[in-house]
Structure 1
Amino acid sequence: MLRRLQQAANLLGGGLFLTLFVVFIVQIVARFGFNKPLPWTDEAAVILYVWVILWAAAAVVPEREHVVFDLVWNSVGYRARQAMRIVGNLLVGGLALVAIPASWDYVHFMNREGSPVLGISFMWIFLPFVLLLIALVIRCSWAIWNSVLGIGLETELRL
């Protein structure tokens, strides 16, 4: 089940990126090939870029692929790593958890306004940010649980 969800998330991320690429090519051809820039392509490219980046960070990029600072992590023992991982994930996950209600309120409030050219509600444009916060809470909770069990402490830290 989890594998199918990951495949679906990857497919959606790939589809978003492919759509961004196609819109970008259309924009270049219209602007430089026909000397007729299309306003919708600029807006669509920006919206798709926001979605691609936030969706990838929330659902596609595995935890082990995120950038980490591990000089201290690699120089300390097992118990210190366990404490560092728990405290770090408590901070990140806790801040994300606290930010979810206010972020959702703002994103929901933006439902009243639409993008200038395409008219897409800003709620749908910025919704992936809330999804990113939820994913952070879930990932941090899972990392804390694994740390308590002693899983993954002998390798590099991955927040």
Structure 2
Amino acid sequence: MNSRLSRVGAWLHARAENLLVAMLATMFAAFILQIVFRYVINLPIGWTHEISVILWLWIVLFGTAFVVRDSEEIRFDILYGAASDKWRRVMVVISAAALVVLFTISLPAVIDYITFMKVQKTAYLKIRFDWLFSIYGIFAVAMIVRQLWLGYRAIWGSAPEAFDPTKAGSGV
């Protein structure tokens, strides 16, 4: 069952990466189009800026929620790398617990704000703001689940790996 679950997880991760690439390509195309219209044709258009901002918001939050692995997250590497396995576990549990508490406390207000924003739309594309900001609610729930999993693994699973600067890369 675990190997099947791993395959499904890997497939979903790959599709999330594909969606992220599509969003980035669309944002880039809108950006180039904006430059061409503004500086070549001398006819500024606003919807390209709007779509670029919207996609940037979605790229950052969607990517962090579903594509970026824990090992690719930013840490205070000086302290974390110098710590023993036991202390790395303690650091992971403390940070996971703090993030779960903070995201959980903020979640009702986040959902309330997102649902409140249905009354406004974007200037050019007329997209409701609740649809645009819904990614933050998804991000918050994904972070709660991720941190619960990391805390669980740190307590009952294997110790988090120490950072090895010789294996550092761009995530590719």
TM-score by length of 2: 0.85
Provide the residue aligned with 1:108 in structure 2: 115
- List gaps (5 residues or longer) in structure 1: none
1:120 counterpart (103, 117, 127): 127
Letter in 2 for 1:116: A
In structure 1, the partner of 2:167 is none
Q: Give how far 1:150 is off.
A: 3.9
Aligned partner (choices 117, 134, 139) of residue 141 of structure 2: 134
Partner of 1:155: 162
Corresponding pairs, count: 156
| Map of 1:58 onto structure 2 | 65
| 2:95 aligned residue (55, 78, 88) | 88
Runs (4+) off by over 6 Å: none
Cα offsets for 1:16-75 (capped at 9, x unmatched):
111101100110111111000111111111111111111111111111111110222233
Give 2:158's aligned amino acid.
I
What residue in structure 1 maps to residue 24 of structure 2?
17
CA shift, 1:154, in A, is 4.2
Letter in 2 for 1:61: V
Deviations 1:78-118 (A, max 9, x none): 32222221111100122112211210110111011101111
Q: Which has the higher contact order (CA 8 A, sep 6+)?
A: 1
Length-normalised TM-score, structure 1: 0.91
What residue in structure 1 maps to residue 106 of structure 2? Answer: 99
CA distance in 1 between partners of 2:129 and 2:44 (Å):
24
Unmatched 5+ stretches in structure 2 = 1-7, 164-172
Task: Give the letter aligned to residue 91 of structure 2.
Answer: M
2:120 aligned partner, one-letter code = E
